């Protein structure tokens, strides 16, 4: 066991986390110790993986995946996480299941959980629905466990909802911790969470909402930048401000991308849809108004096109601290001249930081595994130490 692992285990043992037996749905519902516990366990697991040491805690069982939106990184991160813990992966296809015939959420949740240890859910497209769906699943499996239908209660992990993307934002934070040499070194660092132009429509609000509500927990100077009309959910702005005040950091909103980038240590240029558009999109989908949906999409694309100057270019990067801010992105980025004619980031900027974004994404499987591990293992430091003795 090297000195780095000894230090991480020592820090973990001193935390007063209360993740055991609980789901992980929103970062802002969790204490700072809970967040640190997830990150420390993830870091230790990553080191175990590098040393070819297993961290399996299950002899059998399923990890169920429910993806109601497309995914690459999170889908494969969840698959590799549950496999590393000793579980088999099974994805619920709602089209092929009885959900298509009107099966209720309560019934589905119970039926998929008989030998299941974890349920990962992505439901991020519709404001007011994704998180509510996860809560409904959580209540259903709790009832079945309480009434003896299930021998064990599966742990629910939020793989992205309409409010938050906790596995992503914690992976983002782990990249910052690694890059700057510790969480304590993030205090006072300026991060620009900025809207950026995209030639597509309907991207969720959960990434920027997750970032501003996590980075403000650690004394950072967080600036949210977006054009007029691209607001996030009001309650997420209030909580970000409260977290900043409590941690000694700061939080503010600007409608000037240059203002956000000026002197920034980290930039996170990422497109998202206007909140009003997402709400109207939900209404039209429920009503089955196909032509109105097409009209809304065209209107949104036109609105985006009026802000094509919101791009992370070399000129924008030159405004950052020493012209050398760390670029972060949840991926896939809309790269100008590569994945689209013009998008969120210039090709030269993205290429310079491309491997950094890959490393950022590489923390996610371990974050997911850590969330499940912390929920199932009462004394995580002791259990992780045992893997080095085996």
Q: What angle do CA 303, 332, 296 make, to 5 degrees?
A: 25
Beta carbons within 8 Å of 349's beta carbon, 6+ residues apart: 312, 313, 314, 317, 327
Claim to verify: residue 256 and residue 219 sit in the same structural domain: yes
Mean pLDDT of the chain: 95
Claim to verify: residue 335 and residue 296 sit in the same structural domain: yes
Query: What is the domain range of residue 189?
Result: 168-362
**Helical segments of the chain, H only:** 3-14, 32-50, 73-84, 105-111, 130-146, 166-180, 206-215, 234-247, 257-261, 275-287, 290-305, 314-317, 347-362, 364-376, 380-389
Strand order in 116-123's β-sheet? Answer: 88-91, 62-67, 116-123, 155-161
Claim to verify: residue 66 and residue 194 sit in the same structural domain: no
Strand order in 266-269's β-sheet? Answer: 250-254, 221-225, 190-194, 266-269, 326-327
Q: How remote is the C-alpha of 338 from its chain's centroid?
A: 25
Is 314 exposed, middle or buried, given 0-12, 13-18 or 19+ CB atoms closer than 10 A?
exposed
Domains in the chain, number = 2
**Cα–Cα distance measured from residue 77 to residue 235, given in angstroms and rounded to the nearest whole number:** 29
The DSSP letter of residue 21 is T
**Cα–Cα distance measured from residue 372 to residue 19, given in angstroms and rounded to the nearest whole number:** 9
Claim to verify: residue 7 and residue 152 sit in the same structural domain: yes
The CA–CA distances, whole Å, from 350 to 71, 261, 269, 314, 338 equal 21, 16, 11, 10, 10
User: 276 vs 176, which has greater pLDDT?
Assistant: 176
User: Which CATH number belongs to the domain containing residue 80 in this structure?
Assistant: 3.40.50.1370
Claim to verify: residue 129 and residue 32 sit in the same structural domain: yes
User: 1 vs 358, which has greater pLDDT?
Assistant: 358
pLDDT in tens, 140-157: 999 999 999 999 999 999
Claim to verify: residue 149 and residue 172 sit in the same structural domain: no
Beta carbons within 8 Å of 27's beta carbon, 6+ residues apart: 35, 164, 166, 169, 170, 210, 213, 214, 217
Claim to verify: residue 99 and residue 175 sit in the same structural domain: no
Claim to verify: residue 58 and residue 194 sit in the same structural domain: no
3-state secondary structure 41-83: HHHHHHHHHHCCCCCCCCCCCEEEEEECCCCCHHHHHHHHHHH
pLDDT in tens, 337-369: 999 999 999 999 999 999 999 999 999 999 999
Claim to verify: residue 122 and residue 173 sit in the same structural domain: no
Name the residue among 191, 134, 199, 196 with its Cα closest to residue 163: 134
Q: Residue 390's pLDDT is what?
A: 57
**Cα–Cα distance measured from residue 242 to residue 219, given in angstroms and rounded to the nearest whole number:** 12
Q: What is the pTM of this model?
A: 0.96
- Residue 1 pLDDT level (bands cut at 50, 70, 90): confident
Claim to verify: residue 375 and residue 353 sit in the same structural domain: no
Claim to verify: residue 68 and residue 211 sit in the same structural domain: no
Select, from the ranges 62-66, 290-294, 297-301, 385-389, the one with the highest average predicted confidence (pLDDT): 62-66
Alpha-carbon torsion (166, 167, 172, 177), positive or negative = positive
Claim to verify: residue 205 and residue 350 sit in the same structural domain: yes
């Amino acid at each position: 066991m090297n000195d780095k692992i000894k230090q991480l285990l020592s820090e973990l043992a001193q935390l007063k986390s209360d993740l055991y037996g609980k789901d992980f749905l929103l970062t802002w519902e969790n204490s700072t110790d809970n967040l640190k516990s997830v990150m420390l366990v993830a870091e230790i697991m990553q080191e175990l993986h590098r040393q070819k040491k297993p961290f399996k805690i299950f002899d059998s069982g399923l990890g169920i995946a429910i993806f109601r939106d497309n995914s690459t990184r999170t889908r494969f991160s969840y698959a590799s996480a549950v496999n590393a813990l000793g579980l088999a992966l099974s994805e619920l296809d709602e089209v092929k299941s009885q959900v298509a015939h009107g099966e209720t959420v309560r019934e589905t949740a119970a039926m998929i959980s008989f030998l299941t240890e974890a349920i990962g859910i992505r439901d991020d497209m519709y404001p007011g629905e994704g998180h509510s769906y996860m809560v409904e699943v959580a209540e259903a499996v709790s009832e079945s466990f309480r009434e003896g239908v299930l021998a064990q209660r599966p742990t629910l992990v939020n793989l992205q909802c309409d409010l938050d993307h906790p596995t992503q934002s914690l992976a983002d934070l782990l990249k910052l911790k690694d890059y700057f040499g510790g969480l304590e070194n993030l205090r006072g660092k300026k991060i620009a969470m900025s809207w950026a132009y995209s030639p597509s429509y309907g991207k969720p609000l959960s990434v920027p909402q997750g970032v501003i509500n996590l980075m403000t927990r650690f004394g950072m100077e967080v600036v949210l930048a977006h054009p007029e009309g691209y607001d996030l959910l009001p309650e997420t702005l209030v909580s970000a401000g409260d977290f900043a005040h409590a941690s000694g950091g700061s939080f503010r909103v600007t409608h000037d991308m240059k203002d956000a980038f000026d002197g920034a240590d980290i930039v996170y240029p990422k497109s998202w849809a206007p909140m009003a558009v997402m709400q109207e999109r939900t209404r039209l989908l429920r009503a089955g108004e196909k032509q109105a949906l097409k009209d809304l999409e065209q209107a949104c694309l036109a609105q985006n096109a009026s802000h094509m100057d919101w791009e992370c270019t070399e000129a924008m990067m030159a405004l950052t601290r020493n012209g050398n801010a760390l670029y972060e992105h949840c991926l896939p980025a809309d790269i100008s001249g590569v994945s689209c004619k013009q998008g969120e980031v210039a090709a030269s900027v993205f290429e310079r930081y491309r491997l950094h974004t890959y490393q950022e994404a590489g923390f996610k499987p371990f974050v997911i595994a850590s969330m499940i591990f912390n929920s199932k293992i009462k004394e995580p430091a002791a259990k992780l130490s045992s893997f080095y003795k085996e």
